[in-house]
Structure 1
Amino acid sequence: MANKKAIVVGSGLAGLSAASTLLSHHIPVILLDRAAKPGGNSIKASSGINGAPTRFQSGPGDSVDLFAADTIKSAGSVFAQGGEADRREPLVRKLTSESAGAIEWLVNGMGVDLSRTAQLWGHSRARTHRGKGKIPPGYAIVSALLKELQGTSLFELRGESEVVKILRDEKGRVNGVRYRRSGVEEESLEGPVIFTAGGFAGDSAGMLKEYRPDLGNFPSTNDPRPGAHKLLTDVGAKLVDMGFVQIHPTGFIDPANRSNMNKFLAAEALRAEGGVLLNRDGKRFVNELATRLEVTGVIMSMESKSENPKQWDVQLVLDEGAYQAAQTHVDFYIFKNLMCKVRAAEMDATMRAELQAYGDIVSGASADPHGRAAFGHWSSRAPIKDDDFFYVGDVTPVIHFTMGGAWINTNAEVVKAEGGPIEGLWAAGEITGGIHGENRLGGSSLLECVVFGRTAGENVAKYLSKVDL
């Protein structure tokens, strides 16, 4: 095996997890990424990574079964379609049953602090993990893995290297890639391939237009770049769920550039820690911890404020208690001029009364008409005083994540359109489909990257120990 190496395409968390696993077997890795800097969308993730049950959770007991049930419920009707549960549930069971191990791997193996948990929308328990410090979880996890990988001579990262073709040998096995480095030279590499190149949520003129033309005027949290799925279909990969595009309910509208199509995500953790959503009349209108699909649907049922880009008039509000729990996030958003600190005396009477009524709900004095049952660290109670501070930002639904992609099995092998795995080709992360269905739970993106990235790495190691390449 000394002369054998593996190729990983994509430097987000899935690719880094795969590379780390391969290196644990002393297998050299060449990681290719079309971007100049590594990390992909993973490095921007701000809410955390799911795991159940873990030693960091408190409150009502959690379990793999509960986590799996939440995931299937979030996925919508696809699991009820004929034969689909048999294909999809093994992926969900793997994701959830290996989630606690993923957390321990990051904490014990990589030294990442994930000791704080929050209950995000669609979850029945607080199972989304992040650290207590100022570093967002995506950055903390990705930087820890990069540090480990770059500390060994067995690992090579080649940025600005775009794969243009997946290669196969005379037996039909994937045995390498051809790529273009710095937009000029073309080179070839030999070896089994783990494909982790991400989704197509920023490909508005290409794959989004093909699969979801109705979203053409929606802003996105993703950089504008084409999807890489055709590279997989060219070698026979089956694509699934391509019409399932997740619209995140809260992307910040920059007051200085309201028409910008590229938005900064307002992290789910803001609502998990107690934050509320208000409509243009200053009224709450939804359970802020319902699934992204539900919250987005309610917002989009209201009259939009603009059509190009398509935007709605919604405010995200935190009180001092919620701010203290999410201070790292909010301070950064204030620094970016996406949120502002407001005295209660500056609010209109309707907004102030609504926040006071929400405080009564949190204290148990009244029931929530929207059915919210968890309130994070919201601390404001009646009566609201003029000098009480709140933290406010304008938000709107944004294209955030694509649930569709290459069909994989529980070994992270890419599956052919006619069935059966494509020998020599594995995939993990947002490039894959079939796990999340119509809606992805917050915190499960980073999780699937770790679980299936590590699985791909393990299976490539086994493959290299047996196959004659």
Structure 2
Amino acid sequence: MATAPPDASRPVIIVGSGLAGLAAAHEAAKAGATVHMLERGPKPGGNSIKASSGINGAGTQFQRASGILNDTSDLFRNDTIRSAGFRFQTRKEAATGNDIDRESLVDTLTKSSASAIHWLADEIGVDLTVVAALGGHSVARTHRGAGKTPPGAAIVTGLLQKLEQRPEFKLHTSARVTQIHVDGEGRVRGVRYVQKSEGGREGQQPRRENQEEEPKEEQVDLYGPVIFTAGGFAGDAHGQLARYRPDLAGLPSTNEARPGPHGLMAGVGAELIDMDSVQVHPTGFVDPSDANSPYKILAAEMLRGEGGILLSPQGRRFVNELERRDVISEAIMGLPQPATEQGIKQWDVTLLLDPGAIDATAGHLGFYTFKGLVEKKKVKDLDPAVIETVDRYAELVASGRDDDEFGRRTFGHWRLVPGEANREEEVCVGRVTPVVHFTMGGVAFDNKARVLRRASDGGALVPVSGLWAAGEVTGGLHGDNRLGGSSLLECVVFGRVAGREAAEAAK
């Protein structure tokens, strides 16, 4: 506990610089608050800047422009609940000590989705004109831009540019939060963080020639309402991930190795929920030059949404490529697995895109090709079993029905025709495998983005005064499985709410 300065001098403190934090910062600054953003890495953006498929929105102007007229927030809500699985219950779950209001969270997410898209497009200036279908969605509702910049990078960059124009906004990189300050009544009053800076440590002897100067660390106390947007724990392979999901040991991940912030928040009473609910994404690229690396670049779901198909080691389709992520991951892991090397468990599945899908995903494929993750081949040079599968699938697309195979309802931009006429056409192929991608569990929160704790009498969940959260650090919204495109959406929706709420508290 520490003595805080008068309320009038307190800024809004945001821990984490991904999309949730940036959305919160924008709204807090717009409301007149001074904002201090603390990012433990050397650069802002978090995992959000790597997001590649897009952001969901139901009933948007861009859907209507694309001829998608039948989407509503209710339809989006139903898809989200269906994907969330058994963890989603509309009644209180007091019998299990798990009484978070999931229905309210999902309602807030889906009913705010169109306004989130319009805010990004109209106020921030992000191009979101392209709409695609992802797995588990009833209609196409995942938005991205028409250019080469992936949606996560486009959104993060746009928000950073807006925030840099605001004198109220201060970004501190290489700033690691080590403590949350609370007062005698359990109210959060601020944080302590360690700031790395250049210049060496005090009292050191002058450097010798060619001797590198070590960065020094400065301990700083900062007081004000706190918003945590520091992400999940999918990269914490030997910490929280090993504790809550030891069965996932050995799977590669799309997340860099770093601890999650959940223990720090639990230390001030925050309730943790659904911590064993971890999403395995079905498609992370296996880099031919470093096949056994534990870190994988995500093969964006939109590659399948725009027409890509998945093939077994025998060259056959084995699943509806637009099923939910958990369903496809289970189907892949039901295939024979190559021998585990260097402790890494992965499978040998091929992602194949035809010329139509290649054109529709050109911006992404340029990056994947540069990284050596995909290559182009003429159809005639594929294995005979793969050629047979391509012809069969082209026939299904031409007929508009996949009923006899796996029930895929939309085929993206696939245009390859069956038979000898396609043999000189080029397709794009890459090896993919399931990867630990996202943690649905985290701190309990409500539709005002307030972090929740258990009441002192052990009863209901109540807000932790002075503490908000948004993004992957939270739990309870996605249940067993998150829909693709909803991670960026939850960052915008609940990040904006948290920014407004914390700015009001700062006043």
Please tell me the TM-score bracket, short chain as reference. over 0.9
Letter in 2 for 1:190: Y
Partner of 2:396: 361
**Matches of 2:62 and 2:443, distance apart in 1:** 33
Q: Which moved more, 1:317-326 or 1:80-89?
A: 80-89
Aligned to 1:117, the other structure's residue is in SS state strand
1:303-331: CA deviations, max 9, x gaps? Answer: 21132210011000000000000111111
Q: Which moved more, 1:180-189 or 1:201-210?
A: 180-189
**Matches of 1:17 and 1:365, distance apart in 2:** 41
Letter in 1 for 2:416: S
**Matches of 1:151 and 1:390, distance apart in 2:** 44
**Matches of 2:338 and 2:161, distance apart in 1:** 45
Equivalent position to 1:236, from 269, 272, 288: 269
1:406-438: CA deviations, max 9, x gaps? Answer: 000010000003320000000000000000000
- What displacement does 1:365 show? 6.5
- What displacement does 1:82 show? 5.9
Q: Could you list the runs of 4 or more consecutive aligned residues of structure 1 that deviate by over 4 angstroms after TM superposition?
A: none
**Matches of 1:60 and 1:286, distance apart in 2:** 28
Q: Does 1:7 align with 2:42?
A: no
Partner of 2:29: 23
Contact persistence 2:59–2:69 (CA under 8 A): no
Contact persistence 2:282–2:328 (CA under 8 A): yes
Letter in 1 for 2:377: V
Letter in 2 for 1:438: D
Partner of 2:378: 343
Equivalent position to 1:381, from 386, 404, 417: 417
Structure 2: give runs of 5+ residues left out of the alignment.
Answer: 1-6, 94-98, 197-215, 456-460
Aligned to 2:176, the other structure's residue is in SS state strand
- What displacement does 1:11 show? 0.1
For residues 78-157 of structure 1, the aligned pairs below 5 Å read: 78-80=87-89, 83-84=92-93, 87-157=101-171
- What displacement does 1:273 show? 0.1
Letter in 2 for 1:75: A
Contact persistence 1:249–1:295 (CA under 8 A): yes
Q: Does 1:390 align with 2:399?
A: no
Aligned to 2:179, the other structure's residue is in SS state strand
Contact persistence 1:178–1:189 (CA under 8 A): yes
Letter in 1 for 2:80: T
Equivalent position to 1:59, from 65, 68, 72: 68
Q: Does 1:207 align with 2:221?
A: no
Letter in 2 for 1:436: H
- Provide the alpha-carbon RMSD of the alignment: 1.3
**Structure 2 length as normaliser, TM-score?**
0.90
Aligned to 1:395, the other structure's residue is in SS state strand
Contact persistence 1:110–1:145 (CA under 8 A): yes
For residues 368-447 of structure 1, the aligned pairs below 5 Å read: 368=403, 369-384=405-420, 385-418=422-455, 419-447=461-489
**Matches of 1:367 and 1:152, distance apart in 2:** 52
Contact persistence 1:50–1:128 (CA under 8 A): yes
Partner of 1:276: 309
Larger Rg, first or second structure (1 or 2): 2
Partner of 1:287: 320
Letter in 1 for 2:186: G
Letter in 2 for 1:7: I
Contact persistence 1:60–1:125 (CA under 8 A): no
Letter in 1 for 2:22: L
Equivalent position to 1:255, from 288, 299, 306: 288
Aligned to 1:451, the other structure's residue is in SS state helix
Contact persistence 2:16–2:230 (CA under 8 A): yes
**Matches of 2:13 and 2:91, distance apart in 1:** 37
Q: Which moved more, 1:176-185 or 1:232-241?
A: 176-185
Partner of 1:43: 49
Partner of 1:193: 226
**Matches of 1:24 and 1:60, distance apart in 2:** 33
- What displacement does 1:190 show? 0.5
Distance 1:52 1:366, change over 3 A: closer
- What displacement does 1:59 show? 2.8
1:154-176: CA deviations, max 9, x gaps? Answer: 11100000000111123321010
**Matches of 1:365 and 1:226, distance apart in 2:** 47
**Matches of 1:82 and 1:109, distance apart in 2:** 38
Equivalent position to 2:259, from 200, 209, 226: 226
1:165-216: CA deviations, max 9, x gaps? Answer: 1111233210100011117221100000000010000000100110001111
**Matches of 1:428 and 1:415, distance apart in 2:** 12
Structure 1: give runs of 5+ residues left out of the alignment.
Answer: none
**Matches of 1:366 and 1:295, distance apart in 2:** 20
**Structure 1 length as normaliser, TM-score?**
0.97
**Matches of 1:332 and 1:342, distance apart in 2:** 17
Aligned to 2:88, the other structure's residue is in SS state helix
1:113-159: CA deviations, max 9, x gaps? Answer: 00110010000010000001111100000000001111121111000
Work out the percentage of aligned pairs sharing the same amino acid: 51
1:350-397: CA deviations, max 9, x gaps? Answer: 100101111111111653410100110000011243211000000000
Aligned to 1:445, the other structure's residue is in SS state helix
Aligned to 1:401, the other structure's residue is in SS state strand
Contact persistence 1:360–1:366 (CA under 8 A): no
Partner of 1:316: 351
**Matches of 2:481 and 2:305, distance apart in 1:** 18
**Matches of 1:53 and 1:406, distance apart in 2:** 30
Q: Which moved more, 1:396-405 or 1:178-187?
A: 178-187
Aligned to 1:265, the other structure's residue is in SS state coil
Contact persistence 2:100–2:445 (CA under 8 A): no
Partner of 2:4: none
Letter in 1 for 2:380: A
**Matches of 2:140 and 2:339, distance apart in 1:** 36
- What displacement does 1:81 show? 8.3
Aligned to 2:155, the other structure's residue is in SS state helix
Contact persistence 1:47–1:267 (CA under 8 A): yes
Partner of 2:211: none
**Matches of 2:187 and 2:89, distance apart in 1:** 35
1:258-303: CA deviations, max 9, x gaps? Answer: 0000000000010000000000000000000000000001111112
**Matches of 1:381 and 1:77, distance apart in 2:** 41
Aligned to 1:120, the other structure's residue is in SS state coil
Equivalent position to 1:68, from 55, 77, 83: 77
Aligned to 1:430, the other structure's residue is in SS state coil
Letter in 2 for 1:15: G
**Matches of 1:82 and 1:46, distance apart in 2:** 35
Aligned to 1:281, the other structure's residue is in SS state coil
